[in-house]
Structure 1
Amino acid sequence: MEYTHFMASAEAYPDRSGNQKQAVGYVWAAGGVALATGGFWLVRSYLDKGQASLLYLPVAIACALRFGFGPAVLGAVLSFLCWDFFFLPPFGTFVVTDPKDWLSLFVFLLAAITTAQLASRAREQTQQARAREAEIATLFQASEALSREIGADSLLVALAQRLQVLCRASRCLVFRRASGGLRLVAAGRLGPPPSDAEAETIRRAAEAACEHRQVIGFGTSRTLWAKALVAANTAPSTLGVYVPLQAEAGPVGVLHVGPRTDGQPFSGSDERLILTLANHAAVAIARADLAAQAAQAEALREADALKDSLLSLVSHELRTPLAAIKVSASGLLQPDSSWEEAARQEALRAINREADRLSTVVSNLLDLSRLEAGAWRPHKDWCDLAEVAGTALDRLPPPDAARITLNAAPDLPLIRADYAQIALVLTNLLENALKYTPAGSPIRLGLQPAQMGQDEAPSGVTVRVRDFGAGLTPGEEERLFDRFYRGVRHEGGSIHGTGLGLALCRAIVQAHGGRIWAANAPAGETAGAVFSVFLPKEDAA
């Protein structure tokens, strides 16, 4: 996520040192006076000797407004000298013969310097107001970002970039405390990255600030400053500022702001902004840590619930068929048993049936685990879904298959899918419908093209399994596809089930980019449930 409203661009705050600005200002002042003098010289015959002084004032004022007081004073002095040399008799010398001209010269110089000072002060006040406005906007945007629960890492990156620009810092880094020490999580985007040696120096100084829980760089005590210098093995001029990010439980990181690019110390406004944004960064990290702890606790709770469900499954769905197999096998192995052939065959069928039930449970568990781990990815190829439905019907016992009516549209498009996985989805949906509906009641399996628009080609296929059972309990339509969940109406009932079949269906359908959902039959129709699956066509690339 980008936060362009929260970041200032480098063009809005040009990174030019104070010495460079002053040099440009002095050159501009000298050039401006020279140009003004040349222009006045061309029209000197139309000017009174006193009028030239008034025309030099704009040069000094422009220098003050653009470059500050120093270049403005230079412009005033040069204007003073040029007016004397070129426009006061005797021309071409600095000699002044008329006392009135002396008075005019010094009044001009005083007026020019005073005007330049006032203009320079107005310029500084304007700059301070703009800086304060930017500072307030930054703090407001940081608070707004915190209130909107933006991710901690994104917020820290935005804070670092904004702070580096506003303070004209050579770098701005945010470290987050981790089990192995401090970890860099955000950096300003201006300037080259630090070298390996500089990075090690910064890390050591940051660790010193975090360990002592004190700011290094703003009113740092001599003892702590010395410890930081020794730890960082560097000079004070290159150390910068290190602010520990204090939370209620202790420091959660360190904010490092490198020295200013113009070589000047940080101003009071800079210090206030750095400390305030450090508090915002600490709040963001602390809140992210709390959210991570809450997520971990929720994951542990879900794992505990899953463990209970698995234990319930093992105790019932695995132990029950094992007990039946054990009883039948033990009876058949008795040496003195006098079983009739029909009874013996029934016992063998029971063993086979319960073994199949065990195999289904284990297979569903393994298939679901493989899907969720990404180890059973679909191998897609063009499939005729009507043919897949026929395969699913063939897997059912003949009496159950006889209850199912297949209605496939003649214009059914081919889809790209894993044949075996989709056949497993249809088999599980049909077995679920057979299990939870009265014996002998019909079940309808429908296959229809899914249209994106009235005149557009089909985008896929929709599968619907409609039964005429008791229907679904309102509110459980989504939960039916959770692992180990069984319908409310059948909890503790005589119907066997693990709650894995529909979960496996959802995992397979989602792996194909499709969607599966359940609902009760529409109002006005016979009661029952409708399970629907949408599978995309996926045109060949």
Structure 2
Amino acid sequence: MRSRRRQLGGLVAAVAGLPLLTLALRAGDGLPLTDDILLFLAAVVGVALLGGLWPALLAAVGGFLLLNYFFTPPLHTLTIATEGNLVALAVFVVVALAVSWVVDLAGRRTLQAARAGADARTLATVAGSVLRGADPLDALLRQLRDTFALESVTLLERAGPGWRTAAATGSPVASRPGEGETVPADDDLVLVLRGPEITPDARRVVRAFAAQTAVALRQQRLAAAAEGDRVRTALLAAVSHDLRTPLASAKAAVAGLRSPEVAFGEQDRAELLATAEESLDRLTALVANLLDMGRLQAGALGMTPVSVGVEDVVPRALDELGPAGRRVRVRIPDDLAAVHADPGLLDRVLVNVVGNALRYSPPERPPVVTAASHDRQIRLSVIDHGPGIPAADRDRVFQPFQRLGDRDNHTGVGLGLALSRGLTEAMGGTLTPEDTPGGGLTMVIALPKAP
């Protein structure tokens, strides 16, 4: 159906255009009646294209009267003198009405096809958004809001006697059905739309959006449950293997020292005590990483950012790494600005990142720690010349319980880099891997400068 503006334009063209055409033809040299009829028929078709059927019908009737009164003998009367003129005018009316109806029908069909195409494109995008992207539910709600110029879209879920917000975009967010136009998504989910009224033609598309939001919400929850199961499975595997190894070493050392059947010399006793101490230190670090990762994921990690010098934090972290830390070369400028970070968390990040570099660096080429100022950040680079990590696998090393290429029993539960990135981002920084020139991996810790 044409808009009111186009219908009004068609009426104006019929009321004003036909008299102007009459004046133009009367002022001319006097064309044959058949030519006059053809020109009036063209005018009726133009009105039909612009305003639709009803303006075209008005133009057909008006054209018949004007042709009869001004161009059909006897002039200035509605009498038709000859049978031929009567037939010509009758044919004009019939053709004008038929053409108007066909043009209007074609216009309606074209408009319907355009709307159907737009709906199909929208629905295809809606369906595709569920299959693509990290957060299809949020993408669906945003797309629905943008498509219909809404203020907000809220997905409400039934929770006992009331409702709770499952997802929302825009403002203000509805807290219960009735605070906007409500569209059911399934038995327990409804969409509440706040903004312009949804037309009946668009309601079918909105219902498709609603159905897809229910699918996206279920998909999101299944993915979260699967991720939780994956983490729990990995944690159980880590506890059963990686945590058991240092425990077994410590227990074996202590059991040997307590055994009355073996007499150890002072050097042997010292070695067994060192083994027990090293195993317990490794166990302490693993448990600390597990606890910190749990607090980080729960959003309960305490943090107190202060102004701290990199030249103070790096030596402490290397000391924690024991004898291996003394192999690391440090290059920090004397005039380097301080960073805005939590000293304890930064220490944990450095211990994990440098420890990872030590694990993979060849003995003849130990890791190097450098620091430099870059815009409003301090960039700490931990450089190793080990085997490196393929670009396709770099995101995986920051996932908990991922240990690419590890084959020994002393590498931990794969939390070090995941925890380090989480702690760095919690302090407002970034941890990114880069290639080391000549081979290897460089971990860049970027933190804001102290104000």
Secondary structure, aligned partner of 2:382: strand
**What is the alpha-carbon distance in structure 2 between the residues aligned to residue 378 and residue 73 of structure 1?**
78
1:94-105 matches, within 5 Å, as 94=77, 96=79, 99-100=81-82, 103-105=84-86
Alignment of 1:312 onto 2:235? no
Per the alignment, residue 392 of structure 1 pairs with 317
CA contact (8 A) 1:443 1:466 kept: yes
Equivalent AA in structure 2 for residue 309 of structure 1: A
Per the alignment, residue 444 of structure 2 pairs with 534
Distance 1:307 1:450, change over 3 A: same
Per the alignment, residue 60 of structure 1 pairs with 44
Alignment of 1:115 onto 2:32? no
Per the alignment, residue 461 of structure 1 pairs with 379
Per the alignment, residue 238 of structure 1 pairs with none
Equivalent AA in structure 1 for residue 291 of structure 2: L
Per the alignment, residue 365 of structure 1 pairs with 290
Equivalent AA in structure 2 for residue 491 of structure 1: D
**What is the alpha-carbon distance in structure 2 between the residues aligned to residue 424 and residue 310 of structure 1?**
21
- How much does 1:483 deviate? 4.1
Distance 1:199 1:306, change over 3 A: same
Alignment of 1:491 onto 2:413? no
Per the alignment, residue 242 of structure 1 pairs with none
Secondary structure, aligned partner of 1:446: strand
CA contact (8 A) 1:413 1:537 kept: no
Superposed CA RMSD: 5.9
Per the alignment, residue 301 of structure 1 pairs with 230
Q: What is the number of equivalent residue pairs in this alignment?
A: 424
- How much does 1:158 deviate? 5.9
Picking from 120, 123, 129, the partner of 1:139 is 120
**CA-to-aligned-CA distance 1:310-369 (integer Å, 9 cap, x gap):** 2434544456547767987x89xx9xxxx9999999999888777655544433322232
**What is the alpha-carbon distance in structure 1 between the residues aligned to residue 306 and residue 417 of structure 2?**
24
Alignment of 1:504 onto 2:419? yes
**What is the alpha-carbon distance in structure 2 between the residues aligned to residue 472 and residue 419 of structure 1?**
31
Distance 1:503 1:326, change over 3 A: farther
Equivalent AA in structure 1 for residue 14 of structure 2: A
CA contact (8 A) 1:472 1:487 kept: no
Alignment of 1:196 onto 2:178? yes
1:371-382 matches, within 5 Å, as 371-376=296-301, 379-382=304-307
- How much does 1:118 deviate? 2.0
| Structure 1 unaligned residues grouped into runs of 5+ | 1-12, 166-172, 188-194, 212-251, 452-456, 524-529
Alignment of 1:33 onto 2:29? no
CA contact (8 A) 1:404 1:442 kept: no
CA contact (8 A) 1:383 1:417 kept: yes
Q: TM-score, normalised by structure 1?
A: 0.56
- Which range moves more in the overlay, 357-366 or 416-425? 357-366
Per the alignment, residue 515 of structure 1 pairs with 431
Per the alignment, residue 214 of structure 1 pairs with none
**What is the alpha-carbon distance in structure 1 between the residues aligned to residue 28 and residue 286 of structure 2?**
110
| Structure 2 unaligned residues grouped into runs of 5+ | 170-176, 192-196
**CA-to-aligned-CA distance 1:438-468 (integer Å, 9 cap, x gap):** 9x988454314377xxxxx69642432548x
Distance 1:159 1:385, change over 3 A: closer
- How much does 1:298 deviate? 5.1
**What is the alpha-carbon distance in structure 1 between the residues aligned to residue 28 and residue 412 of structure 2?**
111
Equivalent AA in structure 1 for residue 408 of structure 2: E
Per the alignment, residue 62 of structure 2 pairs with 78
Distance 1:104 1:296, change over 3 A: same
